[in-house]
Chains A and B, each alone.
Chain A
Amino acid sequence: MDGVHDMGGMDGFGKVEPAANEPVFHEPWEGRVLAMNRTMGATGAWNIDMSRHSREVLPPHIYLAATYYQKWFLGLRQMLLDRGLIDADEVASGHALRPGKPLKRGPFTLKDVARVLTRGKFGRPTNTEAKFKIGDRVRCKNIHPLGHTRLPRYVRGHVGVVELNHGTQVFPDSAAIDGTENPQWLYTVVFESRQLWGADADPTIKISVDAFEPYLEPA
């Protein structure tokens, strides 16, 4: 979706403000939100693409005003409600009013912790041939999917060069809908700054994205 989360190249947000000695979590609730999101994901309630999408669909004025973990909280609660894992009257009362539903991989307990601290694997074998090879010129399609996608707006319609091939991986656009992995070839595609930002752009700069094959066409 062409949402406000797709920020690459937007103006007006001001300076970056690095902070010295920042704590990992600024408030204890931030850690609880992160941990709840990870653990419920690990029970099979959702995948990482669904989790990302739950934040992308927040209304723009909320997305922009909320802190990072406030967005995570809002997305988390909505995903739980959407799946019927909790109900609105329970949120209102602050307690479970009925028993839990069965979870695909069962409840998350202490012995499952190592699993969420290990980075997931997204490579999936396919019997398809890569359409592009390193060095090929490709154009990012001018597409505007209404759901989740990982092709940022600022590269759509622009020509770049394939630099790395990462094999076939879970396709987020499909996985975010219903968990269908629909693996696709993934490439790093690099662009000249002037290709993206016009003749006045600084020519010493190059920008790359990782782009799935369905995002690309020969150029």
Chain B
Amino acid sequence: MTHKDDDHHHGDHEHHHDHGSELSEMQLRVRALETILTEKGYVEPAALDAIIEAYETKIGPHNGARVVAKAWTDPKFKQALLADASKAVATLGHVSRVGDHLVAVENTPTQHNMVVCTLCSCYPWEMLGLPPVWYKSAPYRSRTVKDPRGVLKDFGVTLPKDTQIRVWDSTAETRFLVLPMRPAGTEGWSEDKLAELVTRDSMIGTGMPKNPSEIA
């Protein structure tokens, strides 16, 4: 039994009930395919388990948040990050296996950055984990390059009219990480505490870091 969590998860979440029969059919089809691949000796179910576990527990926005918090407290690191994010993140060693193609883009009082993938779902997995459903959805992929202010409104974010917006469409293997602005009122905060302010959406450009009072 390789799907040790199936029974446990089934029905855990309210929204499953809406289309339960469809989902259980998917479950059966996927299970059948895994059985075939396993019986043919192509993959080991334990290896699949380990990959799933890594994305559920180890690789997530906390990786990116550490990078952002470091950039907020260490001007030299920030400079290195903006010059060559892959190299700079690699110097942190334990943060993530980020590869060669990471670019960090800085929000300033005059420019806001947003990241999208109009063609599929490219996203900096090593920094932020797997993308949320909305990032992969047709509304986000279609509108962000044409009406980013409208998209921001869907997230409850309104920018001043004269703020420049830069949208980065991830059409190759380059991955973009937004470096949000450090919130005011955080002078003297430790890197660890600052990292708590850094939300996933603030690193995609669809949100802002938390207000310091939210975690104080």
Contacts and interface: CB of A to CB of B under 8 A. Distances in A.
B51 A96 contact: no
B97 A119 contact: yes
B216 interface: no
B110 to A, nearest CB: 10
Contacts of B43: 36, 39-40, 43, 107-108
A10 B140 CA distance: 10
A211 B29 contact: no
Contacts of A172: 172
A197 B146 contact: yes
Interface string A66-92: 001010010011001000011000110
A211 B140 CA distance: 21
A212 interface: yes
A17 B56 contact: no
A61 interface: no
B214 interface: no
Interface string B139-174: 111110110110100110000011111111111111
A7 interface: yes
Contacts of A110: 44, 46-47, 50
Interface of B: 3, 5-6, 9, 13, 15-16, 23, 26-27, 29-37, 39-44, 46-52, 54-56, 59-60, 97-101, 103, 118-121, 125-126, 129-130, 132-134, 136-143, 145-146, 148-149, 151, 154-155, 161-175, 201, 206
7 contacts: A80-B33, A91-B32, A95-B35, A96-B35, A116-B51, A154-B118, A210-B171
Interface of A: 5-11, 13-19, 22-29, 31-36, 38-40, 43, 52, 55-56, 64, 68, 70, 73, 76-77, 80, 85-86, 90-91, 94-96, 99-101, 103, 107-110, 112-113, 116-123, 150-152, 154, 164, 166, 169-170, 172, 186, 188, 190, 196-197, 201-202, 204-212
